Amino acid sequence: MAQGFSLTSKRILKASASCPVDILQRLRSRIVEIDLSAWSKFLSRDKFDSVGTILYLDTKTKMPMGIWKTNGTHDKMFLPDASRDWEHAKFAHRTVERMVLAAIHLSESHLSWSHAVSVATMQTLPPKHGLFALLKPFTYGAHLVNSA
């Protein structure tokens, strides 16, 4: 599984050793795992859980089958029902997902792409060039990001 700032999803060929739910083994061909458990290693503020989640999706119905929440000390599987625990598990998964997507967006869009385009535009095109004028609003100040 990939670690860091990437989303990983894969078909489950066998249930995770840490996951005690037998239903995963019986439905293994229909389940996709979205593993964000690597994020449980990051520190959080006092009185807050450090959250990493693994979401199990049914590929046929496109519905969640459960969320395995890992926070270092208390690992627990949450199943879809109307309880507050399920709502908390969904909130935790969405929060981690947003953190990952924000990190990917920042690193790929702002730090890599816009910086490269900005520098290439300034170095190769004259200021009166039409493409320079077109790209200027989108790359304004991007070359300053790495020097800040």
pLDDT along the chain (148 residues), means of 10: 40 46 61 79 68 82 83 76 86 84 77 79 89 84 67
pLDDT at 25: 60
> Taking the complete model, does pTM exceed 0.75, yes or no?
no
pLDDT at 130: 92
- CATH number for region 8-147: 3.10.450.60
Amino acid at 57: L
**Are 30 and 14 spatial neighbours (Cβ–Cβ below 8 Å)?**
no
Domain boundaries, the chain: 8-147
